Every structure is written in C-alpha cells, then in structure tokens.
Amino acid sequence: MTVERANPSGELRNAQNVEANVRQHQEHDAAGNSKFGFIVFLLSESVIFLSFFAGYIVYKTTTPDWYPPGVTGLETKEPLINTLVLVSSSFVIYVAERYLHDKKLWGFRLFLLATMAMGSYFLFGQAVEWQGLPFSYQSGVFGGTFFLLTGFHGLHVLTGILLQALMLVRSFIPGNYDNGFFGVEATSLFWHFVDVIWIVLYTLIYVWQ
C-alpha cells in the first residue's frame, strides 16, 4: 500500500518545504549536531567544577584551622596578572576566529599562536607559583583543595593549548576549512569555558580569603 504524503503540521505548509526539511534531516546537519553536543558536554563538564567549588565552600566554611601552620593567605598579585592574561586571550581567540570567518588564514594563525602563547604564559606562571608555595597538596584540606582546583583547571588550559595547536596544524592542510570549521569553534568555545571557570576559581580562592 502506498499513500501520499500529507502536510504534517502548520510549520510545514507545502510539499516543497517538506522536501527541504527531509533533505536537511537526511544530511543530519552534522556540524549543528556537533556544536549542540559540544555545548551539552561543556555544561556537564562545568558540573564537575561546580562540585569541586561546592566542596571548597563547604570546607572553607566548616574547617576550624583552614590554613596550614605558618600560612596566612595566598599572594594575589601575580595570579591577578595571570588572570588578566588568560581572560584577554579569550578576546584574542575570538579575533582569530573572525579572521578564519573572513578566510584570512594568516591572521587566524597569528592570533591563534598569540592565544597559545598567552595560555602557555598562564601555565608557566602557575608552575612558578606552585613551586614557591609554603604548603603542599598534603597540607590538610586547604592544600588538597587548592591543588585540586588549580591543577584540574590547569589540565584544562593544557588541553585547550593542545587543541589550538591541532587547529593550527590543520590550517596548513589546503582546503581544510573551506566547508566550515567546527573544530575551531569548539576549541574557541572550550577556551571561553576555561576562562569563565578561572574567573570563578580566582574569586573563590584568591579574592575570598
């Protein structure tokens, strides 16, 4: 038995629309799916940070001797410079993305490289800070949460830099970004996410002392 297609609903008024809708559906709009899926993934990822943040707040508000013996607080100046560098890099990667949008590959590469440099500066600054600290991850829950939060975030920064390196290398493959550049968009989105998390983290650990 064969039957004719009906107009299924108000938004699909005529057969042409239906055809277009089916065609689009058959192609599965892979880039759109990827973007949607990546945003869902980032939302889920943010819950891991939220759980760590919640843990930090609980520990800080309930632990009688919060700082280990001999520690009165954290130095804020250098982490602040680090913060400024990382947050600015979000704008730099945005500019890189715009260049790619306008198909200006060299501008894209230059600004992506600048983002990587800023991210690396942040990691270097964090390594220097870690080395000079008078406490370790074994110094009570303060030490543990400090290194857990900054370390887990640092791991994300490193992942972001590696993704950027990958996008940079891919930009040298001819025609690679001719039909959309989801990878770059995802990398950029990830970088913004890492920045937002750092702002919350900086406020919790360094500002709220």
Partner 1 sequence: MTNISLEAPEVVRGQPYPGAPDNWKRFFTFSTDHKVIGIQYIVTSFFFFLIGGTFSMIMRGELITPDADLVDRTVYNALFTMHGSIMLFMWTFPVLVGLGNYLVPLMIGARDMAFPRLNAVSFWMIPVVGILMLSSFLVPGGPSQSGWWAYPPVSLQNPTGNLINGQVLWILAVAISGVSSIMGAVNFVTTIFRMRAPGMTWFRTPAFVWSVLAAQLIQLYGLPALTGGAVMLLLDLTIGTSFFAPERGGNPILYQHFFWFYSHPAVYVMILPVFGMYSEILPVHARKPLFGYRVIAASSILITIISGFVWVHHMFASATPGWMRMFFMVTTMLVAIPSGIKVFGWVATIWGGKIRFTTPMLFALGGISNWVFAGITGIFLGSVPIDIHVNNTYFVVGHFHYVLYGAIVMGIYAGIYHWFPKMTGRMYYEGLGKLHFALTYLGTALTFVPMHPLGLMGMPRRVASYDLEFAYWNVIASIGGFLLGLSTLPFILNMVSSWIRGEKVGNNPWRAYGLEWLTSSPPTVENFEELPIVVSGPYGYGRNQPLVGNTPNPELTEFPESLTQQQTS
Binding site for partner 1 (CB under 8 A): 1-6, 8-9, 12, 15, 18-19, 21-22, 25-26, 28-29, 32-34, 36-37, 40-41, 43-45, 47-48, 50-52, 55, 58-59, 62-63, 65, 137-138, 140-141, 143-145, 147-148
Of 6 and 173, nearer to partner 1 (C-beta) is 6
In angstroms, what is the minimal distance from the CB of 22 to partner 1?
A: 6
Of 36 and 91, nearer to partner 1 (C-beta) is 36
The amino acid sitting at 15 is A
In angstroms, what is the minimal distance from the CB of 20 to partner 1?
A: 10
Of 27 and 78, nearer to partner 1 (C-beta) is 27
Of 10 and 174, nearer to partner 1 (C-beta) is 10
Look up tokens 């830099």; give the residue: 161
In angstroms, what is the minimal distance from the CB of 81 to partner 1?
A: 28
Of 121 and 152, nearer to partner 1 (C-beta) is 152
DSSP 60-113: HHH-SS-SPTT------HHHHHHHHHHHHHHHHHHHHHHHHHTT-HHHHHHHHH
Structure tokens at 173: 């493959």
Q: How many CA atoms are closer than 13 Å to the CA of 89, on its beta-carbon side?
A: 33
Q: How far apart are CA 92 and CA 56, in angstroms?
A: 31
In angstroms, what is the minimal distance from the CB of 69 to partner 1?
A: 12
Using CA atoms of 28, 30, 35, 38 in order, give the dihedral in degrees to the nearest 10: 100
In angstroms, what is the minimal distance from the CB of 190 to partner 1?
A: 14
Q: How far apart are CA 109 and CA 199, in angstroms?
A: 27
Q: How far apart are CA 120 and CA 161, in angstroms?
A: 8
